[in-house]
Every structure is written in structure tokens, then in C-alpha cells.
Amino acid sequence: MTEKLLFLTGKLAEKSLHKVLRQIQADIEVQANLKTPQFKYRVEQIGVSVAALMTPEMIARRLKDVGDANKVILPGLCQGDLGPLEEKLGVPVERGPADLKDLPQYFGQQGIAPDLSQHSVQIFAEIVDAPDLSVDAIIAKAERFKQQGADVIDLGCLPGKPFVHLADAVKALKSAGHLVSVDSMSISDLRIAGHAGADFLLSLTEKSIDLIDEVAATPILIPAKPGNMASLYRAIEHCLRKNKPFIADAILDPIHFGLTDSIVRYHKLRKKYPEIPIMMGVGNLTELTDADTTGINALLFGMISELNINAVLATSVSAHAVNAIAESDVARRVMYRAKQDNRLPRGYSNGLLGLHDRKPFSYDEAEIQEIAAQIKDPSFRIMVSEQGIYVYNRDGLQLDQDPFQFYPHLGVENDASHAFYLGVELARAQIAWQLKKRFVQDEELNFGVASQVQNKQPKKAHREASIKEKKHQPKP
């Protein structure tokens, strides 16, 4: 059935919205794109300049009826609960993309929200300094890691440092509902952890494998000596003969200390044992490489997906790896979905696009000039294109790449509040232009998993107050 859609918009976006929708319809007709559903549409401008300032309550007051539409599409930045509006209008109401220029993707196959609810990799999040932390501090850190996506909390034991409260920590984590692993080179520590109820023990070799007869914990098996895969194979065979569960780890080495050889080892391990569970510890790359961990995790989880690796040991110690657990969670879901779809891992999530965006500039200079020409009020708008930063209101349009160059021409030297607001927005615009990121006025920049949840009310209130204060000012 052909959908009949009603698009609600503001004065400034109305013309651009019509243009984009006409182009979508033309593309459907010319390309016979069967992946894009056929639809009819109507656009209604509800008497607000900036579409982002719409609220469901405002729409309910101003929209008399939906005509023959069977769905209403709101601007993506429209805030508020849509439930009461749907009930009043009697048809589904949903938000479109934040930028109307993304409507082609919204209607096309790429615009369908991918199902990222599934994955095939367990994340072991290591608390590397557990012996130095109180039980309460361990629980608190475990909760943070769990919120970031961890499935198992790993307690790291420090060489030569006693972990006197190890058993208490394991029991407390179990009581709090966590799966627990303990990572130690000491058989004594592992024995204590196993008897305290740990679910996994890192790491056993063929020399310490007999511990599996004493405790119920699942061992993670590693080579007895670095790179000695024969010893790992013997430990694996021992567990297989005893019908004991285990996870094997060939050990990922850091760059210039055997990285490539270690990747080959994982490949050989999977080829020799197609069905066994395998773990990869990714911290030797994320922690020990001065590079953004988003890209490192994306690449690692691509290999993890290809090799059907079932668990990772991730760490979040170095300041630059602060989001490594959350990045692992995004990466495992994206790679799983892309593998199931037999597609490249593109267009599934922007969680790992920390520095750059795939489509940073929605509008070119001509389009911005066209929008600026419609402005009849003194409130400043800010946009970014490949050429730089644009600031405009009813008095004209300015373009520069340095925010400081705008100040003498803004006329806000006696308006501290407005000057502060413009300073914040122009700083964001400059960062967006420099990094090639998407900029939307009154919205924080999106840095993927590194983005903080924002409270939009102060910015919304500031903008509304600014518009109310200045809309009656005479034009100079």
C-alpha cells in the first residue's frame, strides 16, 4: 500500500524540504528503486521559523487535521513525547532525521534502523588495579563497565602484590549479579578465586591445567610460553578429553613485538579447531598504541568477526582508552549485523566515528545563501559548509573560518548573554569545520560513544528567550 505522508516543518526549511522530497520521488521513478517504498506526501508549515523549536503540544494546537495522511513525519530535532499527539491525530507520528538532507537515506534501505540488538562476542572487562581497590570501589567500577557493555567483570591480579580481599571481591561481585573472571599468573590466586565462585579463570596452561579438577570455573587456556602453540593445543586436547568447557587464547601481541605473527596464530587456531570458543585480549593494541581506540577496535572486531572469535578481554586504563569497553560493545554489534547481512560495515552506526563524519556538510554555499535571504528577524543562525562558518540574520550573511573575525560585526558587545551563547555555538562550528563533522545549531557535536548525554532544556530556553527579546527590535 502506498503511504500517504504529512511532513510538518518550519518556515525556513519549507522550501528545502519540498526540493528534497521532489528529488526522492524523481529518483524512485527514474531508478525504479524497489528498496525504497512508494509514497505520496504533503508538506505543512505550522507557523514557526525554526523547525527544531516545534513541540508536540504546539503541533497539537496548530494542526487542525491530517487529511488523508496515514503517517505524520516531524523534524528529527522536535523534542517531547509523541504519544499524546498520536492519540489526538489518530495516525502514527514519528521523527525524521535530524537533518532533512538525510531524508533520502531515511526512505532508502540505508535509512532503515539496523537491528544492533544481537552479537556473538562476550566482553570481559578487566579491572587491572583490583588489588589496590576496596570491595566497594570494585563494585562501583564493575557497574560502570556493565553499563558500557561488559558481560564479565575480570579482576586483574598484580604480580608480586597480595590480593588479600580477592575472595570477598569475587563473592561481592557475584552477589551483585555479575559474571566474574580472575586474571592471575598465580595458581594460588586462581584456586582462591575458583573456590570463591569465579566463573572464569585467566589463564591456565598445560602446566596448571589440573586446577580444572578442583574448581568449577571455566579456564581460559594460553600457551605455556609466548607463541608456543603446541603447548596450547595440548591444553585444549586435555580439556576436550575430559569434556570440560574452556576458552582458548593465542595471545595478541603489541605492534613491533609480534602483532602480525599473533594474528596468524589466531587464524591457525581457528582453522585447527573450527568449533571451540576463542578469546582475544585487545588491550595490547588499544592501550599500547597512541592512536584513537575507535579505529583500532573497529579493525580488531572486524578480524574477530571473520575468525568467529567468541570473547574479548578489554581494558580501560590509559586516558585515551577511557571508552574502550563501550567501543567494543558497538563494534561487536556492528560487525555481527554486517556479517549477517553480508555487507560492508558501513551505515550501521556512527558510534565509532569519533573524529569525522561520513557526510559532514549538509548544505553548500548557494543553499545557505538561499536560506539566509529568507531571514526577517535579528536572531543569528549559524551553519557550516566546506568553505567555512556562516553567521546570518536579517542584516546579512558573513563567512569566515575564524570565529574571532565575526565578533566586531555581531553587535553583541553590550549583550553578555547573547555573546556567550554565540561564543559557544561558534566554537562548536569551528571544531566541526576543522574535523569535518556535522554541525547543527543548538546541538552538541556527536563524537560517537564519547558523546555525553546532553540536557537540551537550557539551550532551548536560551534560544527561545533570545528570539522573544529581539523579535520586536527595529531594524537599524
Pairwise CA distance, residues 130 & 141, whole Å: 10
- With contact defined as beta carbons under 8 Å apart, do 121 and 127 qualify? no
The predicted-structure confidence for 414-453, as pLDDT tens digits, reads as follows 999 999 999 999 999 999 999 999 999 988 999 999 986 5
CA distance 90 to 81: 15
243 C-beta neighbours (distance < 10 Å), count:
6
Task: Give the residue among 297, 313, 388 at the shortest CA–CA distance from 345.
Answer: 297
Q: Grid cell 552506526 — which residue?
A: 349
**What whole-number distance in Å separates Cα of residue 474 and Cα of residue 373?**
18
Whether the CB-CB separation of 75 and 10 falls below 8 Å is answered with yes
| Residue 127, C-alpha cell as written in the block | 579491572
pLDDT of residue 168: 98
Would you state the pLDDT for residue 351? 94
Q: In the beta sheet, which residues pair with residue 6?
A: 42, 72
Q: At residue 20, what is the residue type?
A: V
3-state SS, residue 74: strand
pTM given for the model: 0.82
- Per-residue confidence (pLDDT) for residue 111, from 0 to 100: 47
> In whole angstroms, what separates CA 152 from the centre of its chain?
21
CB distance 382 to 399 below 8 Å: no
Tell which residue, 156, 146, 141, 150, has the closest CA to residue 328. Answer: 150
The pLDDT of residue 228 is 96
- For 18, residues 6+ apart whose C-beta sits below 8 A from its C-beta are 43
CA distances from 348 to 215, 299, 447 (A): 42, 15, 16
Q: What is the pLDDT of residue 461?
A: 60
Q: Compute the distance between CA of residue 71 and CA of residue 259 in angstroms, rounded to an integer.
A: 53
Write the secondary structure of 343-392 as one string of H (helix), E (strand) and C (coil). CCCCCCCCCCCCCCCCCCCCCCHHHHHHHHCCCCCCCCEEEEECCEEEEE
Starting at the edge strand found earlier in the chain, the sheet holding 381-385 runs 381-385, 388-393, 396-400
Note the pLDDT of residue 20: 87
Predicted local confidence at residue 109, as pLDDT = 45
- Name residues of the chain where pLDDT drops below 50: 34, 109-111, 476
Helix (H, G, I), strand (E, B) or coil at 219: strand
